[in-house]
């Protein structure tokens, strides 16, 4: 089973307006509500790809109930911990001639609530996968992701980490199965500008040397770069398409990678599907559907001059 943990889920209220006037009255041309948070985005894409997962995390108040009920209506499994105080955050995303975001803070997570999450981890099995994605509340210790990996090490669970800065770096000694920085995040971790693919590869290998088994770097329009646990380099260029909304693209990349890897244990195919899934979401309003992902895989295989298939051998 794949599990995701989202410490700070959110209702994403997306407003499209022709022009945003600061200090004035603005009217929406259209509006949408998405159930957000990086782990939830991963779970949603996994569901769209036909792979079961369980979304874990913390919810509070009427906004938390709305997320829980909404995900259930979409067919996603959840096992959230309910907090007694506060409200699950609302993020307002205004899209006009410029993009503006106001992200809510979210509720505090008490030590008692956190202990309930650790009790859930006791039930994990060696064949399970856990995705730790996104930021954490100020109430959490900055090494919380590392603590989770340390707890799961004896159980042999594969852990994916998508985090930034210290939150990511502290997990590396515990050998996460996969980390997925984007280019800016990778530059921040290694504290230098990465101007070409060779410098990006060197930086990715440095994180692998610190403990990460696989390092997958999102390069936006430049596609993805994977340094796998066998020291092989996989470079996949992004497919052609019109970017609609990049929110959730990186999370979809993780979901596509896991879906491909768990079916084939083929890193070449996994990074291909991950790149297609991330691009598909960038080309969509919300998390992309499986049909869009499949179309992009076909496009990318045609561009390569030969297919990489699920049935291909380990690479």
**Mean pLDDT, residues 40-59 taken together:** 97
Which single residue is written with the structure tokens 């506060």?
86
Q: In a 3-state reduction of DSSP, which class is residue 30?
A: strand
Rounded-to-integer distance, Cα 261 and Cα 2, Å: 12
Q: At what angle do helices 290-304 and 267-282 cross, to 10 degrees?
A: 120
Enumerate the active-site residues.
251
pLDDT at 308 over 50: no
Rounded-to-integer distance, Cα 108 and Cα 300, Å: 44
What is the chain's Cα-based Rg?
19
Rounded to 5 degrees, φ, ψ at 235 are -115, 125
Note the Cα 201 to chain centre separation in Å: 21
At 255, the pLDDT band (50, 70, 90 cuts) reads very high
In this predicted model, what pLDDT tens digit does every residue of 170-204 receive, in sequence order?
Answer: 999 999 999 999 999 999 989 899 888 999 999 99
Q: In a 3-state reduction of DSSP, which class is residue 89?
A: strand
Four-point Cα dihedral 256, 281, 137, 70, nearest 10:
-100
Instruction: Report the range out of 41-45, 97-101, 237-241 with the highest average pLDDT.
Output: 41-45
pLDDT at 218 over 80: yes
Closest CA relative to residue 64, chosen from 44, 90, 99, 101: 90
Burial class (CB in 10 A: 0-12, 13-18, 19+), 3: buried
Rounded-to-integer distance, Cα 212 and Cα 200, Å: 16
Task: Write down all domains in the chain, each with its CATH number in brackets.
Answer: 2-7+37-88+105-304 (3.40.1190.20)
Residue 22, token pair as written in the block: 């600061």
Residue 91 pairs in a beta bridge with 12
Rounded-to-integer distance, Cα 37 and Cα 44, Å: 10
Are 121 and 1 spatial neighbours (Cβ–Cβ below 8 Å)? no
Does the CA dihedral 149-224-244-239 come out positive or negative? negative
pLDDT at 304 over 80: no
Q: Are strands 10-16 and 30-36 parallel, antiparallel or unpaired?
A: antiparallel
In this predicted model, what pLDDT tens digit does every residue of 98-127 receive, in sequence order?
Answer: 778 888 888 999 999 999 999 999 999 999
At 313, the pLDDT band (50, 70, 90 cuts) reads very low
Return mean pLDDT, the chain: 91
Question: Which pTM was predicted?
Answer: 0.91
């Amino acid at each position: 089973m794949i599990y995701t943990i989202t410490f700070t889920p959110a209702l994403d209220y997306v407003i499209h307006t022709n022009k945003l006037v600061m200090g004035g009255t603005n009217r929406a041309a259209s509006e949408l509500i998405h159930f957000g948070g990086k782990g939830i985005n991963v779970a949603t894409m996994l569901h769209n790809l036909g792979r079961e997962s369980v979304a874990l995390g913390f919810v509070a108040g009427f906004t938390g109930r709305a997320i829980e009920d909404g995900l259930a209506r979409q067919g996603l499994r959840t096992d959230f911990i309910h907090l007694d105080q506060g409200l699950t955050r609302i993020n307002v995303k205004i899209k006009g001639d410029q993009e503006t975001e106001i992200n809510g803070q979210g509720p505090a997570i008490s030590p008692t609530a956190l202990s309930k999450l650790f009790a859930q981890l006791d039930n994990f099995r060696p064949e399970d996968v856990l995705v730790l994605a996104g930021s954490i509340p100020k109430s959490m210790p900055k090494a919380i992701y590392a603590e989770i990996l340390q707890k799961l090490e004896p159980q042999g669970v594969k852990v994916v980490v998508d985090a930034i800065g210290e939150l990511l770096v502290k997990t590396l000694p515990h050998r996460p199965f996969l980390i997925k920085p984007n280019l800016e995040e990778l530059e921040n971790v290694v504290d230098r500008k990465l101007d070409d693919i060779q410098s990006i590869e060197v930086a990715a290998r440095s994180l692998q040397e610190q403990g990460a088994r696989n390092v997958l770097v999102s390069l936006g329009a430049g596609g993805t770069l994977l340094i796998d646990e066998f020291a092989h380099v996989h470079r996949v260029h992004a497919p052609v398409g019109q970017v609609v909304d990049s929110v959730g693209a990186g999370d979809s990349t993780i979901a596509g990678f896991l879906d491909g890897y768990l079916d084939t244990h083929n890193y070449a195919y996994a990074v291909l599907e991950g790149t297609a899934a991330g691009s598909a979401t960038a080309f969509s309003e919300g998390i992309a559907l499986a049909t869009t992902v499949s179309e992009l895989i076909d496009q990318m295989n045609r561009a390569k001059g030969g297919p990489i298939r699920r049935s291909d051998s380990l690479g």
